[in-house]
Structure 1
């Protein structure tokens, strides 16, 4: 009796496995960039991965199988493309965590420049992490995505710890005024960064070195022309490496995989 029950359970498990694989024939593919064409983008949302990525279910558990991936060691490879069942990205003006910018060159009679419109692929928060639904009950972490339909994906804020105490400063790019704050930020404090910028001599700061330092804007302190900044050198390196790398340090470290907006 027990032997017959065991054989029945094994047969059922095999059937479920086959059914799951049959239902997801072409959802995920590690296609080369030469095969990735705009024609494919028009039909469905395509994600490119910035690192190896596991596949999860709606509860945040790793899926035991998915389209040829089996067990805890099965994952989608870095730089591969994920062909989701979503058919479009959505225009938004919200301060969403992950988004893309569709940028075009804009010319008027008196001015010219680049105009960016924000789009996003709706995500779901599971167990404190953000996930994209790719279809057939499967999810991948949004943080593991480098581009959506060929557009770079950005984050609206990444957490980092200060390793040096110091005074942050505010800057207004219209008035070119810089003001040091009187409140010191002590080492060990965590901040959330939403953008990076380099100042020039015309911004009101004089640098002896041609290699200008990079400053990180603190989230919630301003958008566009204003903001409060700290030197990126004051941030813990393992945190900053996620969204920034110094070209003098050589090739980008493997953990550098989150894009922040470059502030003009």
Structure 2
């Protein structure tokens, strides 16, 4: 069963999404809080994961990140990772207010950029009793240098500085495409599989998705180091679902971060690339998450 929800963040922004409940289950149930990754909206397959959790007897709070989709927030299309981290914590607080939520059995799930956020949230927020991080960004600065050719980085830094000066004068934030068919063109996610997944998924499932973000979003991405908090998650159980051919949130950086996590932890390796976790490898990615949450959130 799915109901529309909305709630306010601590700074007054209204976030909107869905509350999934398992059919035929009464009383308080484990609840998973979840949002999407870089620029994506909830219609881009988050419903499939929430449905899998509901079928296993767990509720979900699924919401659009601020400035995107159905949620409020300005400037539109801007991604501030630290505001999104705080919004996860506000979503947990909202979940606690619902009569169906067992506040002692709250888990968090994230994928790609939100896969990074849940690492940070779980490191700080002990209300979280279990975490699943799927194809996560581990290091913004190092991943940034994997996605952008070394001889282009100086020019990108100049773009950041110019945008900052123009905003100081009162100009609106500069914008950049999320994806481009030409991987050598300026875009936030310059990989061929990013172009295919976002364009195909938006046409099929999320026509309101917009192919743009603020340039400042890329600058904040390059400064974000979620993997540096991973050793602080313990004793909260951590599952990392990593794609062996991930060229976007690159595989080796995620594996390196996992090595710094303390127990209890588990790793699942998917066969495909970054976006296969939502489609071709969905059965494995969702089943692994369901089993981890069942193990650590459901009562025997």
> Do they fold alike, i.e. is TM over 0.5?
no
| Richer in helix (by share) | 2
TM-score after normalising by structure 1: 0.29
TM-score after normalising by structure 2: 0.27
| Richer in strand (by share) | 1
